[in-house]
Amino acid sequence: MDDIEYSKKQEKDEAAFEALCKRCGACCGRDDEPCSNLAADSGGNYYCKAYDARIGPQTTINGCVFTCVSIREVLKYSLPCPGCGYALEYDSGRCI
């Protein structure tokens, strides 16, 4: 596999990984105290307004500081919602 093919494979794998998310917003505090970066589109799908810079200190809509971590870290301790698209991957032992 040359560099171009590898790059395409990485893009494809990332797209497939991102597609697992159901955009429910549960892992970003949708039902409690949402992160100030959490937003929803007109179809009711949630997204992060700062996705590329999300990991690290963040603030809720009420001004509480917390640390945004990867979904892998979240799943070590809790299941954000019953249908989280990453939970099955995590439980199966496949790396996410």
**Is 24 a binder of ligand SF4 (CB under 6 A)?**
yes
**Is 89 a binder of ligand SF4 (CB under 6 A)?**
no
Long-range contacts from 42-47, C-beta under 8 angstroms, 24+ separation? 47/23
Of the two residues 6 and 61, which places its CB atom closer to ligand SF4 in the complex? 61
**Is 22 a binder of ligand SF4 (CB under 6 A)?**
yes
Residues in contact with 48: Cβ distance below 8 Å, sequence separation at least 6, in sequence order: 28, 35, 37, 38, 39, 54
How near is the Cβ of 75 to ligand SF4 at its closest, in Å? Answer: 9
Catalog residues that contact ligand SF4 under the rule CB under 6 A. Answer: 21-28, 35, 37-38, 48, 50, 54, 58, 68, 71, 80-81, 84-86
